[in-house]
Amino acid sequence: MSEATFLDTTELVLNMGPQHPSTHGVLRVILKLDGETVRGTECIIGYLHRGVEKIAENRTYVMFNPYVDRMDYVAAVSNGLGYCLAIEKLLNVEAPPRAQAARVILTELNRIASHLLWLGTHALDIGAITPVFYCFREREEVLKIFENYCGARLTTHAFRIGGLVYELYDGFEEQCRAFCDMFIPKVDEYEELLTNNRIWVSRLKGIGILNEQDCKDYGVTGPVLRAAGVKWDLRKAQPYSGYEQYDFDIPTAQNGDTFDRYTVRMEEMRQSVRIIRQAVDKLPAGPIMGKVGKVVKPATGEAYVSIEAPKGELGYFVVSDNSTQPYRVRVRPPSFVNLQALDVMVRGGLIADVVAIIGTLDIVLGEVDR
Amino acid sequence: MAATPWESDLTKELKERFGDQILECSTYLGQDFVVSTPDAAIPILEFLKLEADYDYLVDLTAVDYPKRPERFDVVYILYSFARNHRMRVKCAVADGAKPATAVTVHSTANWLEREVFDMFGIQFAGHPDMRRILLPEEWEGFPLRKEYGLIQQDDRWVRENLNIESGQ
Amino acid sequence: MGKLFRTVFLVDLLQGLWVTFRNQNPKYIYTEQYPSQRPKISERYRGAPRLNINPDNGETLCISCNLCALACPENLIVVTSQRNEETRKKELTTFTYDTSRCMFCGLCEDACPVDALELTQDFEMASYTREGTILDRQMLEEGPHPTQYRS
C-alpha cells in the first residue's frame, strides 16, 4: 500500500465558516478545492432560523405584522408590503389610492436603501473600502425619512392591513424630492469610482456566469435574472399597489456575470428615483385606510401574493381557516432560492471569486433562514 | 366565497391527459389551482413544463391538516413567463407516504423539498440529498406539524449541545 | 494610442482617487460627536415607553382598559387594577412593561384609547441587570432621564 507523499495532490475541503466577514451573515460554505480552484461547494444554512412560520400560526394577523420585518432586515418595508397585500387579497379589500401611492414611495426608497447596502458591502468584500462610507451616508438619508414617517429606521412596521396607520408627515414630499435631487449625482459618483476602474472590472467581468436557462431552472429571480437577459419584473408583469401608473424601464444585461448584475442594480436605483419623483408628484388626497374591521378574520381559503422585493420575488402563501389566526403562512424567500444557484456559479473559479459571487447574489441570511 | 370551477384550454388538456387523476380544477380570488392525486403530481409538472410553458417553479410547500386521513397538502406553485400566469398544483399526501421528487423536473426543488422534509417530515422518493436543512442534523421532531408545541424545544439537544437546562 | 496612455498612466484609478480627494472638503463631515452631540430624533420615534400623567391634577391618564396588553404580540404588559367603590371606575394599581422582550412595534401605543401609553424618543435603555429592563409603574411615569455630558 503506497503512502501519500508530501507532494501528492488530493482534494482539499475548506470550511468558510459561519463567522466570516464576507458571507453576509451566518452562512457556512464548505469548499472542495483543487489547489485554489473550486470544484464544488455545499452550503449549510439554518444558523439564523427563528421559526417565523411557526410563530405566525400563534399570533393574530395584525400581531404578526411586526415579525415579517425581521426576515429581510435590510429592506424591511418590502416584507411588510408583501404580507399586507397577501392579507388584503384574502380579505378582498384594496388600499385606497393615497395609501397605495405612499406605499410605492416607501417601497422604492427601501429598494434604494437595500441596493446601497448591497453596493457598499459588495465593494468592501472585493476590497474597495471607500464606497461603504458613501453608500451608508446616503442610506442615512433614507433611514431618516423612514424614521420621520413611522418611527423606526430598520424594523419599520410601516404598513398595516388595509392601508397605512400614520398620515404622511408635513414635509414628507419636500424631503423625498430633496433626497431624489441629492441622490442622482451620488450614483454618478459611485459609477465614477467603480465602473471603469480596472481592478473592479477584472474582479467582476466573466465571474459567476449564470445563463438564462439555468436561472429559470433554479428559480432565480430579481436582478440576477435580469442580468441574464430576461426582461421580467413583477412590477410590470403583474402590477400591484398602483405600479401600472408609473413610467419606468427594466434594466437588463447580456452576459449574466457579476459585472452585469452590478450595472443592473445601479440602473435600478436610478429607475427607483424616477418612480419616486412621479409618485410624489401624483400623490392623491384621500383616506389612508381601507374598509377593514377591527378584527381581521378572512374567509377560509388560501392565496399566494408576491412582490418584486429588492432581492427577487418575495411571496407569501397564506392559508386561513376563518379564525383570527392564520392557519399557515409560508414565506417564499428570494435569497433562499437564489442561494441554491451558488453551487453552479462558483465551479471552476477561485476562492476570491466565491466571495464576489456570494456578494453579487445579494443574500440576507435573515430571509434565507427565517 | 368558495372556490369556483376553472375552465380553460389548459384544464381541458389536463383532464384529457390525466383523466380521473385530476380531482378538481378551481379558482379562488382570481388564483387558479388544480388538485390531483399524489402519483400524478410529477407527470403533471413535467407536462406543464414541457408542453404548457410553466417553466418556473415558484415555490414548493406543504400544509398540515391533522384531522384528515391524508394529512399533508403538498403545494407546487408554478409560473409561466410566456403566458404570464401563475397556478398551483396541490395533492394530498398521507403521513409516511413518500411522494416522488420534483428535482428531475425543476432543479430548484432541491432545497425546497429539503425544507419541507425538515419542517413536516415528508420524505421525497428519489431526492439526491434528503436531509435537514434549517435545523441541526440531530434534531428530533418536525416543527411545523400541528402537534409540535410552540414553546416546546428539543430539550435534549439544547442540554447536550449548549450545556444549559432549557432554551427558555 | 489613447487606450495605451490610459493604461500606463493609471487614468481610471486616478479618476477614482479624485472622487475621494474631492470628499476631503470639511463641509462633507457627517460624523456626529455622540454623546456630547445627541442626534435629532423624530417625534414619531418608537423608543422607551412612558405612562402619561394628566398635567392638571397629577393623576394617571390610564383607565386600565387592558387594550395595550391584548394588542401586544409578546404579551409583556401586565395591568392590574382595582375598582374604586365611590366613583365606580377602575383605578390603576400596577403596570409592568418588560422591555427585554419588547420589539418596539408600537401596537400598544396605537391601541391605547386615551394616549396614556406612549413610546418616547428615548433609546438609551441599557441596564446592568436583566431585572432592570422590566419597567414598573413608577419608572414608566417618570420617563427617560438621559445622562448629560459636559461638552
Spatial contact of A161 and A87, defined as CB atoms under 8 Å apart: yes
Spatial contact of B23 and B1, defined as CB atoms under 8 Å apart: no
Residues from chain A contacting residue B84 (CB–CB below 8 Å): 237-238
User: Average pLDDT, stretch A284-288?
Assistant: 88
Distance from CA of C120 to the nearest CA of A (A): 10
Determine the straight-line distance between the first and last CA of chain A, rounded to whole angstroms: 50
User: Average pLDDT, stretch B121-125?
Assistant: 88
A153, HSE (Cβ side, Cα atoms, 13 Å) = 11
Whether the pLDDT of residue A351 is over 80: the answer is yes
Whether the pLDDT of residue A116 is over 90: the answer is yes
Domain assignment present for residue A224? The answer is: yes
Count: domains in chain A = 1
Whether the pLDDT of residue B168 is over 60: the answer is no
Quickly state the pLDDT bin for A109 (edges 50, 70, 90).
Answer: very high
User: Average pLDDT, stretch A2-28?
Assistant: 77
- Cα(C59)–Cα(C72) distance, rounded to whole angstroms? 25
Q: Which residues contact B29 (CB under 8 A, 6 or more apart)?
A: A89, A90, A92, A301, A303, B1
The confidence score (pLDDT) of residue B69 equals 86
* Chains contacting C (3 or more CB pairs within 8 Å): A
Range of the domain at A62: 48-334
Quickly state the pLDDT bin for A92 (edges 50, 70, 90).
Answer: confident
- Average pLDDT, whole number, for chain B? 84
Name the residue with higher pLDDT: A250 or C4. A250
- Cα(A352)–Cα(B88) distance, rounded to whole angstroms? 40
Q: To the nearest 10°, the Cα dihedral for A91, A96, A99, A103? A: 60
Q: Where are the domains of chain B?
A: 4-134, 135-168
What secondary structure letter does DSSP report for A290? -
Domain assignment present for residue A290? The answer is: yes
CB contact under 8 A, A151 and C30: no
Domain assignment present for residue A18? The answer is: no
Tell me the pLDDT tens digit for each residue of A181-197. 999 999 998 888 888 88
Q: Which of B61, B132, B148 sits opposite A330 (nearest CB)?
A: B61
- Judged by 3 or more CB pairs under 8 A, whether C touches A is yes
Whether the pLDDT of residue B155 is over 80: the answer is no
Residue A177 backbone phi and psi in degrees, to 5: -65, -40
Tell me the pLDDT tens digit for each residue of B51-71. 888 888 999 989 988 888 888
The confidence score (pLDDT) of residue A8 equals 67
The confidence score (pLDDT) of residue A170 equals 86
What secondary structure letter does DSSP report for B21? G
Label each residue of A26-62 as H, E or C. CCEEEEEEECCEEEEEEEECCCCCCCHHHHHCCCCHH
Helix A61-68 to helix A76-91 angle (10° resolution) is 160
Whether the pLDDT of residue A112 is over 90: the answer is yes
- Cα(B131)–Cα(B136) distance, rounded to whole angstroms? 10
Quickly state the pLDDT bin for A1 (edges 50, 70, 90).
Answer: very low
Tell me the pLDDT tens digit for each residue of B98-118. 888 888 888 889 899 999 998
The confidence score (pLDDT) of residue A114 equals 92
What secondary structure letter does DSSP report for A167? P
The sheet that has B85-93: what strands, in order across it?
A: B4-5, B22-28, B31-36, B85-93, B72-80, B56-64
CB contact under 8 A, A301 and B143: no
User: Average pLDDT, stretch B25-51?
Assistant: 87
CB contact under 8 A, C7 and A67: no
Can you tell me which residue has the cell 391538516?
B65
Does CATH place domain C49-142 in 3.30.70.3270?
A: yes
Q: Which of B29, B59, B148 sits opposite A332 (nearest CB)?
A: B59
- Cα(A281)–Cα(A240) distance, rounded to whole angstroms? 19
User: Average pLDDT, stretch A76-83?
Assistant: 91
Fold of B4-134: Beta Polymerase; domain 2 (3.30.460)
- Cα(B42)–Cα(A46) distance, rounded to whole angstroms? 28
- Cα(A296)–Cα(C112) distance, rounded to whole angstroms? 18
Tell me the pLDDT tens digit for each residue of A243-283. 888 988 899 988 888 999 999 999 999 999 999 999 999 88
Whether the pLDDT of residue A228 is over 50: the answer is yes
The confidence score (pLDDT) of residue A4 equals 57
- Residue percentage of chain A with pLDDT more than 70: 98
Long-range contacts of B107-115, Cβ-Cβ distance < 8 Å, separation of 24 or more: B107/A217, B107/A218, B107/A340, B108/A217, B108/A218, B108/A219, B108/A220, B108/A337, B108/A340, B108/B57, B109/B57, B109/B60, B110/A340, B111/A336, B111/A337, B111/A339, B111/A340, B112/A337, B112/B57, B112/B59, B112/B60, B112/B61, B113/B60, B115/A336
Whether the pLDDT of residue A5 is over 70: the answer is no
User: Average pLDDT, stretch A200-218?
Assistant: 87
Residue A228 backbone phi and psi in degrees, to 5: -85, -5
Residues from chain A contacting residue B56 (CB–CB below 8 Å): 216, 219
Quickly state the pLDDT bin for C10 (edges 50, 70, 90).
Answer: confident
Q: Which of A63, A150, A155 sits opposite C44 (nearest CB)?
A: A150
CATH number, domain with residue A248: 1.10.645.10
Interface TM-score (ipTM) > 0.95: no
The confidence score (pLDDT) of residue B14 equals 84
Query: Lowest-pLDDT range, A110-114, C11-15, C143-147?
Result: C143-147
